Structure formats: structure tokens, C-alpha cells
Structure 1
Amino acid sequence: MDGDLSNSLTGSPSGPVVQAGTITGNIHFHPPTPPAPINQLPPDVPHFVGRAAELALLTAHLDRGTALPIAAISGTGGMGKTTLAVHWAHRELHRFPDGVLYANLRGFGPGDAVPPATVVRDFLDAFRVPAERVPAGVDAQAALYRSLIRDRRMLVLLDNARAADQVRPLLPGSPTSAVLITSRYRLDSLIAREQADHLPLDRLSAQESRTLLTARLTDPRVTDDEAVDRLVARCGRLPLALAIAGARAVTEPHRPLDHLVPDLDDLSTGDSPDTDLRAVFDSSYRALAPGEARLFRLLGLHPGGDIAHPAAASLAGLPLAATRTLLTALTRASLLTALPGDRFQVHDLLHEYAAERAAEDEAAADRRSAIVRLLDHYTHTSYAGERRIYPSRDAIALPGPAPGVVLPDVPDRGAAWEWFGAERANLMAVLFLAAREGFDRHAIVLPWALSSYLGRVGQWRDWELSQLAALSIARATGDRAAEALGLLVLGRIRTLAGQRQEAVRWLEEALEVTTDPAGAAHVHEALSLVHERDGELEMARSYAEDALDLARRAGHRIREARALAQLGRVWSELGDHRAAHHCCARVAEVLAGSDDQSGLADAAEGMARALLRLGEPARARAHCERAIALYREVGDRWWESVSWHRLGDIHAALGEVDAARSAWQRAAEVFDDLGHPDAAVVRAKLENA
């Protein structure tokens, strides 16, 4: 070799430097090839429907620029959490140029949940880490995984997680990546510690459900809107149920849509637990602690659409605090939905499943005890509410509640109205449950307790149905007092509805079975009102006078006052307005010191009528305004509308046309809402004013 070979370097090099001997030709530098993006993302569904708001929220969570964007989608099994997560990931794949890591953690389903160590090892394999470079310890493997994902822009999709501890070891350590988690549980500790964004998933809308159900159908069945809507309702707008029903419609083209899913067993494709709704629900139920599972299945015995905390405590026979803990756990597990007002809702199909679990896992005696506690809760609270709304009403016998029943406080009339308003649908469902299952006393007392509320707010159809149920039980059990009461109230309902012939028939039957003078006075007063409204004034006067005589003989002050008020109305219609005025003044005297606001309202309304017809509209106005205020206070919408009608007549007599029109308009609106024929009478006055 001639001479010495040496390299010299001057300046500040940029880029690679080569130390070499003699170089002939050109030098080409090839930087290392970047690793190909990892894409473990499952395929997207071909017919994704709806969820526009949820997709936008997921993107917004990612764009917040937090230390490590984490979004956790929660919802009951079959709600479409995985479908939403995968669809969003495909749509936003451009945000993650280094790829997507995906793991099904199998937190719910057949077999055991996948431990984090297994997922970490799978992720290292995805990064093509040679086996000899994988450290032995789990913590060391997790550290290697975090170092490999560091500074990469990747999405980590952790599907079907059971708990936060299953997820934590899989979280990247740098903010360049994002994590999307799905779970049937809410993963509260992850939301608290790692500040994960929470996205609870609810059912599809009715229109989205129809679209999902019919997306793959091309046959004429999809044109039957009513059949499609019934199938949507049967599936409870649950995406998995709709998808299964749609698949069955495709594979059974000659079967009517109405016949596809008669029960839960039909919401299955028959070849996979992932597309078997009962299996999906089973996996959630089996994951519950014993106390949580018991409350869940007992909720299947509740016939209503939602349940308040005290009712759930009564159903379980537990104190409020212990029940709260269980309700919270079921809500966290997405088996319950928390609603405003300390109320909870079970999805329709989950409710059906819970009822099956109660039938199979709860002893018959325990089921019956739970139902008794539930009925006692609603019956006793309704009874207390009725005493607040109509304190002067004659009470009926009610045995004490069973042990374990929790009764909410009903301190005043406002609380009673609020409670009845929140529970009306449940109360009707519970009443029919009592009648169907042979709880006769509950089926008689509940209609009594509901009567004032349903009548005064104008829920006349429910009012009638409840009384018919009570009447049927009373006749079957030979309870003459309850039979008479049911007939009387049914007559009242028909009177208010303007169906007077039917009213007379019910009331005459009531008169035949009524045995006590006070009850007979009540029926005679009701018959007087029917005949007065029908223009049969002499008969109306006779019944009113008989009612007054019977009430006085019974020594019943409230019935005497009501009979006097009715007699005053009749005298007014007969043209003896001074006699009417005298009767209404006597009502106020009889009720002095009483809390019978309804009776005082009747007296004020009758006084207004008499004074108007005596040609004293200015004095009549004050009495009519008092009647309106009292009727509004007790919630009697029909009599309030009658009084608004009267006030309009008073304003018209005073030449106050605008005030008259305003009062008549108020009356017409309520009459319309009640479906009452007097609306046409008032509207005629409005047209001619």
C-alpha cells in the first residue's frame, strides 16, 4: 500500500459521514425505511345509521388537545358501542398515520376477560419486536410498549372492557396518540384519574331504527309502515336487536314482519353468542354481584316504564341507602338509566329479560312478597296524596304496609300533585297488576286514591278504567260499599263528559246498592247534577232536596254543604236566584272552619251564578274570581273551566268585551283539552262577541 491513508474533515458536516479508503464512483445513501402503519382495525359496517351527534362528540374529544385524549363509550349490551367506535375510527383514520392498535378485551361474554399482559404481548408482536428482545416481566413489557408507541400518532381501540384496571396498563404514555374504549360499565375511576371523556350511548331514534331495520330489505314488506313501526318497538330501538331482526327478515322473506320476533329467543341468529341478545344480556347479568343481580331481576316485576328510588327500595325490601348503592351499581353497569327526579329506567328488552330472570332465579314466595311491598308503596302513598288533595273526603279502610315498605313523605297538596303527576302511568300499570294477580284490596283502594287526581286533571279515560277495574273486583268479592262507590264515580265521569243517559244508568245502579244515608245523599246530589245539566230541573230539584235531607239526617256536614251548593245551582236555573243565593250563603256557613276548598269553591261559583242572574254582575265577578282561584288550588280543571265560562258572561254583562273574550278563550281551551262538548258553546260566544 503506497503512502498513508488518512481522512480529514473540515467544517460542520450535515448528514451522514463516511470513513473509507479509496472510493471509486458515486456514494448513495439510503435512509432506513419507515415502518409500515399498523392497522388492526376491524372492518366497518356497510350500513351505519345515525349517531351523528356521538360521532361529532368523539371528534371534539380528540381535538381538545389534552395530555392523552381518552374517550370511553358506555352503554348496555347491544347498544352499538363497538360499531360506533369502529366506524368513527375508519372515518378519522387520516388522523393516525402510524396506524391503529385494536384489542377485544372480552370483558363480557363467554370465557374469561383478556388480561392486560396478553394484550401488551400482542401489541409488541404488532410492532414486530423479536422474541429475544421482549423482556420477561409484565411491567417491563408494558414499558417497552409505551416506548415503542411514544411520539407515534396512533389510535388504541380497547373494545369491550370490563374494568378500568384492565385498561390502564394499555394506555400510551405520550399525548401524540389517542385511546378509544368501549365498555358496558361506566369506568368511573378512569374518568376521575385519567380524565377520560365519557360518552354514554342511548337507543337509536325511531327514524334511525326504521332506517337500520329496512336498509337491506327490498321486498314489499318495507312499505307497511305500521308493521315496520311495530317491529321497531318490539326491538326497543336497540341496534343489535334491530340488526338481528333485519337479518331474519332477509333470510325469511315470506314471514310477516310482525311475526319475526315474538319473544327474546327470536332475537338471535342462532350461530354466535355475539348475535344472540339473550346471551348478551346473560353475560351482563352474570357479571353482577348477588345483591345487584337480585335488585335487577326484581325490577322485572315492576310493570311501569320507570321507577323512583323509594319504590325500588320497597320492591327490594331494603333501606334507601342500601338501595341507592345497588341502583348506582346497576346504572354504572348500563343496566339502568338514571333519569331526573331520582328515577331510573330499564330498557324494554332488558325489562323483559329481568322478568324472566325473576321467574327462574327468585322463589315464588319471594316474588309475591316483593309485589306486595311494591303495591303497598304505591297504594299507601296514593292514599296519603288523596288525603292532601281532598282532605274532607270520606276515607276507606286500608291495612298497614308490609315490613320493608318505604313511603315517601307527602307533606302538602303541592307535593301530592307532583307525586301523582310523576307516577300516573306507573299507578295505572300497578293497578292492573293488582287486579290481574288477585290483590283485591289494592285493586279497590288504588282507584279510590286516584279518583280526585285523575278527575281534576282531566285524565278521564284513566279515571274510568281505574273505576271499572275496582267495580269488577268489588262485584267479584261481594264488597257492596266499594261497588256503590265505583258506580257513583262512573256516573260522575259520564256526567262531566256530557254522556247523561249513561250517567243516570250508573247512578241509579249505585242508588240500588248504597246502604248508608251519607252515601245515598252523595248519589242523589250526583243525580241532581245530571238532570240539571240535561234541563230536567224539577227532577234535579227533587234529587237535590233529597240529598240535603239525607245528609242532615246522617249528620254529614260535607255532604250537606255539597247538597246545598247543588240545590243553589238548580234554583238558579229555575229562575229563583234569591233562593240560589241563600243556598250558596248557607254553604259557606256550614263549611266555616272546614278545609273543604272544593265545597267553598262550589259555593263561590253558585253565588256568582245567582248574582249574575239577579243583575248584579259587579258583585258576581268577585265571587267568580274566588271560585276560579279555589278550583285552581285544588286542581279541578272542569269546574275551573266552567267558572271561566261564567266569568266571561259576567264581563260581557259589564260591557267588558275584551275581558269576556279572554275568559271564554281560557274556558274553551280547557274544554277542548278535556274533549268536552261545552267547548262548542263557548266558541259560539267567541265568534259572536
Structure 2
Amino acid sequence: MNRNEVGENHGNVVQAHHVGSVHLTSPAPVPTALNGVRAASGSFVGRDPELASLDTTGLTVVCGLAGVGKTELVLRYAANFPGDKLFVDLQDYDDQRRVAPAQALEEFLIALGVREIPPTEAARAALFRSVTAEREPMLVVIDNARSAAHVRPLLPNKHRTIVTSRHRLTGLDDADHLELGVLPADEATSLVGDAEVAELCGRLPLALRIMAALRKSDPDHDWASELRDVDLDLLDDGDDRSVRAAFELSYRALTEEQRRCFRFAAMIPGLVVTSETAAVLAGGTEARARKLLRDLRTAHLLEPGDRLHDLVRVYAAERVSEEEDQETREQAVSRFFHHLADRAEQMSAALRTPKQAEALHWFDRHRPMFLLTALSAILMRHIREGGRLAWAVHDYLELRGLLHDLKMADQLALDAARNLGDPWMTARAQARLRDTGRYFTDDSR
């Protein structure tokens, strides 16, 4: 029989008289997620010179106006890249959904399989450079960047790195710059199938893809004439309004049920429009919402992954403002806040049951909207629901190691409790926030 005997204990050091057997185990390796870049649109055409120019080393900034196809170009290049890939969308042109460099670094490190994430941006950047220095050549894509300052912490010391932006980002001294213009006439015509329509769309890829879908849905319709009937200046002004007329045409082609789903999708905070949340807002079934979201993807009003393009979201919000009365909007938003808080509480309880995998899947799917929804609820005076949601996501965020989100959620829960004048909940929220603080150094607070 094996027998372990301990002699003297000197603090943290133990002296053993006799050791029968020792069993050493190491933690399971953390999975990596290095090839999750989505595919480019199936309607991608041309851009051969631009793709060839990307076939180099170092850092490149791909810049151009919104809708010109910067992201699609990089995704097409990424499809043929032989190594691992990291991708982050900074959403730097949207103040409400912007991804901070510290959060982007956290996502990169998690994808690289790092188990313990440092709390500060500087420490994460240093660890990211160190971890990537040891790897075979990779592709790092930083999408939708607005400033050089937001990009610099995300740059590895080596590896192919591509940044997309509506600005040139001249502050990135060592970068090559590829300015992406509209498509040449022949490629634009190939994409949309009609030379006149291509010119009326300003040969802007986003507008062309929408028109291609419309022409496919009704090939006998005179789309060029209808394009002339709308304010074509909006297609040519080179700003965020450049494709409003094309959006309007696509919207007109929807059924009323599809239009309503499109409008309500714009009310969902965060990036992803799920069938569950779309059904709650529109007041229908999830199965029907799933079908309607599929219709919106077909019409190119919803991107792969059920995301609204920035410009499409702006247009949808305008449609909500003009076509839905205030009472309807308030009722829909109230349903949404109540539902998400209820579901988060249910899934949080399930994390401690055999249904943990199902709960984690639900949380992962809806994660992009949690903090924005909790904040929106509090600001819109749905304080109790905002506080419930912020409280309910705590265990999930801690389990996933999403520490900055965790700290923000705990702060929102405390803000809600204080606004409600609830001393008991305020004390609990303060205690939880203090406990979360153990993950952070003094410099990160």
C-alpha cells in the first residue's frame, strides 16, 4: 500500500518522510479559433489588380468610401491565405458598438488559446506580440478602423496584417495604402447584369449587389426606370447616403411582413439579429422570424451571420421612425427588454445544470447585445429589466473569462439598483463589483 507521511510544515514548503506515489495532471489545452473568417460574398467579381497588390508582406491599409467593398476584397484574399487567420471588426464608425483595442486583443488572445488574459490593454498587447512571434505566418485582419491609435495595439511584430478603413490612416507610418474605388464599368455590369443599372448605381458594389438581387427576383421589371424615379443624387454623393435609393428599391420589393421584420430588426442593440429576438420585437413566432430573416438575406438587406450593415441599419432606423408610431415602438422595445432579461436569468440558472452546453450556446449567440441592451434599457427608463439582464450575465461572462464585459455588466447592475433606490440590491451589486475587481490591477481600474 502506498503511504504518504508528512514530517514538518515550514510555511508553504512541506517536508515528506515517505512518498508512496505522486500523480501530476495538466489542464486540458484551450481550444483555438484561428480559421473562423467568413467567406466573401458569392457575388464577388473582378478586383484582380487589387488582389494581386495584397499578395505581399507587412502592413496594408485598404481604404475607401462605405460600401465600396473593402471588407469583401480582404475576405476574398483571406480565402487563399495558406496560414492561420485572425479577424476583428472594430466598428469604429459606430459610437455605440465600437470595439475597444483592449476588447479586440482579448478576442485575439482567446482565439490563440491563451487561458489567462491580462487586465490592461498594454499587457494584452505585449502578450499578443509575444504569442504571435512564436507562430508560423498568419493573417491578421482589422476591419472598420477609424484611427491609427485604435490599430497600433493590435499590430503583431510580424505576420501579414491588413486594415480596412474609410480613412487613409496615414499615422501608420510603415503601412502600404490601397485606395479602393468603385468597380470598372465591365465588372460592375457583370455583377448587376445591366450596364445602365450599373451606372445608375454609381458602380458601388454594395448598391450593385442589392440591384442584382432585385433583378433576379423580377427580371422583367424596368429597374433602370425606377432608379431614375428616385433621388439619384443619393447614389452619387460619396457619403453614407450614397446607396439610400438602392435600399429604398430593395425595401419596396419586400412584402409588408418582410418590411416589418426589417424595421424591427433595426431596434435590436448589438451586431446580430437572431430569430428569437426578431420574433419578440415583431410579436410573431420564432419559426416565422427565421424565414423572414432568410428572405432579408436573399434581398441583401441582411449580411451573412444575420448582421445589418452599418448603412442598412441607418436606413432601417429611418423607416422605423417614419412608419411605426411611438406606442408601437415602445411596446416592442418593452417586450424585448423583458424577454431578454427573462431568458438570461433562465440560461444563467441552467449553467449549473446538465443543460450547461445549451445555455452556453444561447449566451454565445446573444453575447453582442447584452451590454448594449442593458445600457439601453436603463437609459430608456426600463431600469429593472436592464439591471436584471446585467446581473444575469455575470456568471456566463466570468465563465468565459470576458473580464472587461464582466466589470461593465456589474457596474450596470449597480447603476440600476441605485436608480431604483433599492438598498439591498445596491449592497449586493457593490459586493459583486468589488469581488470582480480581484481580476484587475490598480492600473486597469
Q: Please tell me whether Structure 1 or Structure 2 has the larger radius of gyration of its CA atoms.
A: 1
TM-score (structure 2 length as normaliser): 0.50
TM-score (structure 1 length as normaliser): 0.33
